[in-house]
Chain A
Amino acid sequence: MAPPGVASEEAALVARVAAGDEAAYRALLAAHLAPLNRYARRMLGDRDEADDVTQEVFVRLWTDAHRYRPEAARLTTWLHRIAHNLCVDLQRRHGRISLAGDSSTLEAPPQEATRGPEADLAEAARARRVREAVDALPERQRSALVLCHYQGLGNREAAEIVGVSVEALESLLARARRTLRRALEEEHGP
């Protein structure tokens, strides 16, 4: 969770955005654009769709800043909730979007200097298997995993965004990790 000082600074920036202040908007963009885009890409898999969702989140920050209530939620939670709803709407409207084959979403994993090309290929193959296993998770398990593990949100915030209790969120997370472990063990072999 962000320290109270950061939260109140952000609330002040949102108030300025509500009054049409572009500098405040740019400051919030700089802080939140990359994490929200990572969330949308892991949820949707498709780079263009994820970029569209990210754009819509920030359009709403610009047009609906006056609706933000800092006493109710951190700004990042509010923005993630908008992104989550847009991602879920998209997936339900278009059917499940598969990450498989969309390499544009991916970034090469961090590489060690001493590794050779074979090790790089093996790691890229492992990264693809992880991506496909996450993509294959049911929607709510994937949302819970991405919000908590990748986005680093607290369990209460993630539970509120997914629309479940904290206990139900823990169950979704445990089932997601168990499914992933089984899928990756099958890939690696016994």
Chain B
Amino acid sequence: MDLERFQGLVDAYGGDEAAWPAGERDAARALLAAEPEARALQLAAQAMDRELALFQVAAPPSVDRILAARPQPGALERLLAWLVPAAPGQLWRPAVAAMLPLAFGVILGAGLPAPLDAEGWEQQERLLLAAPGPGETP
């Protein structure tokens, strides 16, 4: 590493050696040991690091707030979780979730009686016409 690259390193990452990219840390340390100018650059960057350290922030929100914000699963999601337990990387789960209403409809439809054909409709009409109206007796 030359002095120009070392300057680029401290300009970007500051004077803390732990913040330097791991692949360049040893070369930078070797240059520091050999070049007094590198040490001066590091000290200037460390002064800037101390200034930046003054920017502290307050405590985070409570864990309870985060826990309370979680959406509760709907009936469909609970059914999906029961059918297909979730695991990382299951990007196809939303597709399975979208297919559940379709599958439910197919199962429901298969259980219904078959629709009437033309002859069946005529028979229904005859029965209705022959049926007594309100206030009539057969």
Which positions in A face B, CB cutoff 8 Å? Answer: 11, 14-15, 18-20, 22, 25-26, 29-30, 33-34, 37-38, 41-42, 47, 51, 54-55, 58-59, 62-63, 65-70, 104-110, 123, 126-127, 130-131, 134, 148-150, 152, 154-155, 169-171, 173-174, 177-178, 180-181, 184
A11 touches B88 (CB 8 A): yes
Residues of A within 8 A of B119 (CB): none
13 A-B residue contacts at CB 8 Å?
Answer: A18-B87, A20-B81, A22-B67, A29-B67, A51-B61, A55-B69, A105-B57, A106-B57, A150-B55, A154-B22, A177-B48, A178-B11, A180-B48
Residue among B8, B55, B66, B67 making CB contact with A127, cutoff 8 Å: B55
Docked Cα-Cα span, A106 to B54, in Å, equals 10
Interfacial residues, chain B to chain A (CB-CB below 8 A): 8, 11-14, 19, 21-22, 45, 48-49, 51-61, 63, 65-67, 69-71, 73, 81, 85-91, 93
With a cutoff of 8 Å between Cβ atoms, the chain A residues found around residue B86 in the complex are 18-20, 65-66
Say whether B85 contacts A180, CB under 8 Å.
no
Q: How far is the CB of B26 from chain A (nearest CB, A)?
A: 16
CB pair A66 B93 closer than 8 Å: yes
> Which of A38, A65, A170 contacts B57 (CB under 8 A)?
A38
Tell me, in angstroms, the Cα distance from A108 to B58 when the chains sit together.
8
Nearest-neighbor residue (CB-CB) of A37 within chain B: B60
Give A14 to B88 CA distance when docked, in angstroms.
7
A105 contacts B87, CB within 8 Å? Answer: no
Cβ contact within 8 Å between B57 and A19: no
Contacts of A108 in B (CB 8 A): 56
Given contacts A18-B87, A19-B87, A65-B86, contact A41 B57 (CB under 8 A): yes
> How far apart sit A65 and B70, CA to CA, in the bound complex (Å)?
13
Determine chain A's interface SS by DSSP, over half rule: helix
Task: Give the residue of B14, B56, B60 whose beta carbon is less than 8 angstroms from that of A54.
Answer: B60
A66 to B66, CA, bound (A): 19
For A68, give the chain B residue with the smallest CB separation.
B88
- What B residues does A155 contact at CB under 8 A? 13, 21
B63 in contact with A66 (CB, 8 Å): no
Question: Could you say which residues of chain B place their CB within 8 Å of the CB of A19?
Answer: 81, 85-87
Pairwise interchain contact A127-B54, C-beta atoms closer than 8 A? yes
Bound form: Cα–Cα A30–B67 in Å: 12
Which listed residue, A41, A59, A107, A180, touches B52 by the CB 8 Å rule?
A180
Q: Shortest CB–CB separation between residue A19 and chain B, in angstroms?
A: 5
**B66, A58: Cβ atoms under 8 Å?**
yes
Residues of A within 8 A of B66 (CB): 29, 33, 54-55, 58-59
| B54 engages A66 (CB within 8 Å) | no
A-side contacts of B53, CB under 8 Å: 109
CA distance A68 to B90 in the complex (A): 9
**Nearest 7 interchain pairs by C-beta:** A37-B60, A18-B86, A127-B54, A173-B12, A174-B11, A170-B12, A41-B57
